[in-house]
Amino acid sequence: MGKSIALFGTSADPPTIGHKKILEELSKIYAFIIGYVSDNPNKNHKEDISIRSHLLKTLIEDLDNPKILFNQSISSQWALESIRKCKRVYELNNLDFVIGSDLIKDIFNWKNFDKIIKEVSFFIIIREGYPVKSSTLEMLEAYNVPFKISTIKIPNISSSKLRTNFNYSNLPTSLIDIVKKNNLYESTKLVE
């Protein structure tokens, strides 16, 4: 595989138009993007990982971009395990770990943080309302965390916002029927 590879792990509860835009934009920057769904130990997930992974896989298949791969087998709730599995499966040395600016401050508390920062560079996508604070930048530099801040512009939507204020227009088109037919996210109780 080419040298510029992005690892895009997400809770995807559910995948939104924001996830779609991120994948599309990453494919303009990286040789390959490897996506998977994980259980974040700091979140309570609405739907089971098997449902969320099916939704992300459907989204990626719908994008029909050979640079965007889906591989659920590398999923772990622990970033280091996913990173190492990915490196083994794809025989990689260099890997960028995609993370939203809302989560970057949390990495210092991640299990095996000291090992993770030796394995990957972080590719930080700025989310509206979540600037990377100067104190976080200072910590990243103090711990010698390799990182880049993206200029990708994404819609101001997140899975949690979508669940709180459900609107089908914030779902990728390829997922709407699946969500409706399977009564996911209590969609039958909500008004479009």
pLDDT in tens, the chain (192 residues): 446 999 999 999 999 999 999 999 999 999 999 999 999 888 889 999 999 999 999 999 999 999 999 999 999 999 999 999 999 999 998 999 999 999 999 999 999 999 999 999 999 999 999 999 999 999 999 999 999 999 999 999 999 888 888 888 999 999 999 999 998 987 544 444
What's this model's pTM, rounded to 2 decimal places?
Answer: 0.92
Other C-beta atoms within 10 Å of 21: how many?
17
Determine the structural domain holding residue 93 and report its residue range.
Answer: 5-189
Angle between helix axes 49-63 and 17-29 (nearest 10 degrees) is 50
Q: CA nearest 98: which of 112, 115, 86, 114?
A: 86
Question: What is the three-class DSSP state of 158?
Answer: coil
CB 179 within 8 A of CB 16: no
CATH number at residue 181: 3.40.50.620
Q: Name the helix (H) or strand (E) containing 57.
A: helix 49-63
Q: How many structural domains comprise the chain?
A: 1
Which runs of E-coded beta strand occur in the chain? 5-10, 32-37, 68-70, 96-100, 121-125, 147-149
Query: What is the spatial distance between Cα 166 and Cα 191, in angstroms, rounded to a whole number?
Result: 8
Structure-block tokens of residue 61 = 């298949």
CB 74 within 8 A of CB 86: yes
Query: What is the spatial distance between Cα 149 and Cα 91, in angstroms, rounded to a whole number?
Result: 26
